[in-house]
Structure 1
Amino acid sequence: MKIFLDTANLQSIRMYNDMGLLDGITTNPSLLAKEGGDPQKAMEEITRIIKGDVSLEVVATDYEGMMDEGHRLKKYGQNVVIKVPITADGLKACKSLTQEGIPVNVTLVFSPNQAVLAAKAGAKYVSPFIGRLDDIGQDGMGLIEEIKQIFANYNFKTQILVASVRHPMHVVQAAKIGADVVTLPPDVLGKMLKHPLTDIGLKNFLADWEKLKQSNHS
């Protein structure tokens, strides 16, 4: 399973990329705005740091606007994937961009029907938002299971990119289902790294080592 980081924070991107953990990045206008500064410079730097796919999202809602923006965003790097919403114009743009050889990530997916339509339109990635479904009492992971089964039935090449991940158990569940990608906020990836027994074990190892050194010097 590929791990993408869902952020525009350059410090977090560099840190986790240096650990060898990142297969790609997903961003959106909200994440870029949260970091402040020049969003164009941020996008240039992200596509330079990351070797894998970087999703950059359009803000236009009409077909012509999405196409213009998609072509402009693609200039930030060969690894750019254009992110469009699951709307009629978004699917039309997805089809057109895909035919031009520009990969597309269809986002804001909340149903198996929407995922099927995105795959039919040629999307490289489909992004179901599981956390937002959980928030309203629906089964986010159940959606991933349904999409996985449908895509397998028809051999769709579109990759399932699990988005709106709220905690490490979402990652475990997505991996067990066989999702292609999870995209994580930096704090969730940080939590995956930690376990209290690891901290206790390391503390004990170091304490034992200090005892050994002292006994050898006595």
Structure 2
Amino acid sequence: MSSKLDQLKSMTDVVADTGDIEAIARFAPQDATTNPSLILKAAALPQYSGLIDDVVKNTLHDADDPIQLQSAATQLAVEIGAEITKLVPGKVSTEVDARLSFNTEAMINEGRRIVQLYQTKGIDKSRLLIKIASTWEGIEAAKVLEQEGIECNLTLLFSLVQAAACAEAGATLISPFVGRILDWHVAHGAKPANANEDPGVQSVSAIYSYYKQHNYKTVVMGASFRNCGEIEALAGCDRLTISPALLSELKEDNGDLPRRLSPEMSFASQAKISINEIDFRWAMNEDAMATEKLAEGIRAFAADQVKLETLLRGWNRHV
């Protein structure tokens, strides 16, 4: 029997959740997704030192200028993303600076800028997804970008109301975070007996069901997995973005992997959710897990963005 990774690829588009070129080449995913934390890790790899040299020399003329530092960090993310496009046949996700997560206009402008930077390297926007946090402001930014033909990946998504708002905005793809949902429930005393009882798995399954029932075209891409059991419980989901460590586990396992999700499945009926800003904010307020994990995720990505800029500032002094 083929590996579970190969079986998974037959029913789900597998995406590499990494900026490590060697890992992407090894597992041959359809797409790849990055974020500030992954770019920071990638920047520490020896194979990227030449890219960093070029970015610092060409874009960071004043290492104490915060605008230049932010610009250099974005340029580095694009440089790494451009290398990844050579290895995957599909799309590469590049994230907007998390510090802009509550500024719609700034996110729109940053999304446009990322696309322009890729285009100067000969990479068409059809190969890209602009990754934006699923705040109300982020969803509004994605609506504008999608209308301009710039496809978006709405990330840090933890609730059905976020998913419903993203679909209504016409987002190309959403990334519900399975593992982080589990983390919150475990921290509050829950201990699911198996993957089917995992609250993160249940959340993604409910979102998948909701989208299929109401004929939304937005792609559901489960993300942030803690173990292979979560991945196997979502086999058949539109896409799954998986870390190299878990991809390796799946590749080495030749057990049977049954399909768990399919558009043809019979789902429990879910009424269509009416979305406006007031209802969205109230629903998030009432969902402690989604509110806390969204805020925590934005803070973590913003902190890693600052660390990346600090790395570039230090690099500048040695170039």
- Find 1:155's aligned residue among 212, 215, 229: 215
Amino acid in structure 1 at the alignment position of 2:95 = E
Q: Deviations over 1:167-214 (max 9, x none)?
A: 222221111xx41000000010000011399xxxxxxxxxxxxxxxxx
Stretches of structure 1 lacking an aligned partner (at least 5 in a row): 198-218
Give the residue type in structure 2 aligned to 1:160. Answer: V
| Separation (CA, whole Å) in 1 of partners of 2:204 and 2:210 | 10
Task: Please list every run of at least 4 consecutive aligned residues from structure 1 whose deviation after the TM superposition is greater than 6 angstroms.
Answer: none
Determine if the alignment matches structure 1 residue 93 to structure 2 residue 141: yes
Return the match for 1:135 from 170, 183, 192.
183
Distance 1:47 1:71 in 2: 18
Is 2:89 the counterpart of 1:82?
no
Q: Which residue of 2 aligns with 1:29?
A: 36
Aligned to 1:106: 154
Look up the match of 1:47: 85
**Distance between the aligned counterparts of 1:195 and 1:183, measured in 2?**
18
- Counterparts of 2:207 and 2:201, CA distance in 1: 10
Higher RCO (CA-CA < 8 Å; seq separation 6+):
2
The match for 2:304 is none
Q: Secondary structure at the match of 1:127?
A: strand
Instruction: Give the structure-2-normalised TM-score.
Output: 0.57
| Residue among 234, 246, 250 paired with 1:188 | 246
1:2 corresponding residue in structure 2: 13
Per-residue deviation, 1:41: 2.3
Q: Distance in 2 between matches of 1:48 and 1:89?
A: 32
- Structure 2: tracts of 5 or more residues without a match: 1-11, 44-48, 53-75, 186-197, 256-319
Match of 1:169 in 2: 229
| Corresponding residue of 2:22 | 11
Q: Which has more strand, going by share of residues?
A: 1
Q: Which structure is larger by alpha-carbon Rg, 1 or 2?
A: 1
> Structure 1 residues 157 and 13 mapped into 2: Cα distance closer, same or farther (>3 Å)?
same
- For residues 87 and 196 of structure 1, do their structure 2 counterparts lie closer, same or farther at Cα, with a shift above 3 Å needed? closer
Task: Work out the CA distance in 2 between the residues paired with 1:63 and 1:134.
Answer: 29
Q: Does 1:67 align with 2:78?
A: no
**What is the TM-score when the length of structure 1 is the normalising length?**
0.83
> Secondary structure at the residue paired with 1:30?
helix
Offset of 1:144 from its aligned partner?
Answer: 1.2
Q: State the identity as a percent.
A: 35
For the structure 1 residues 154 and 191, does the alpha-carbon distance in structure 2 shift closer, same or farther, using more than 3 Å as the test? Answer: same
1:16-70, Cα deviation, whole Å (9 max, x unpaired): 22xxxx1100100110011114324212211232220111110132122211211
Determine if contact 1:24/1:54 at 8 Å carries over to the other structure.
yes
Matched residue SS, 1:136: helix
Q: Does structure 2 retain, via aligned residues, the 8 Å contact 1:74–1:81?
A: no
- Structure 1 equivalent of residue 277 of structure 2: none
Cα RMSD of the aligned pairs, angstroms, is 1.6
2:269 is the alignment partner of 1:179: no
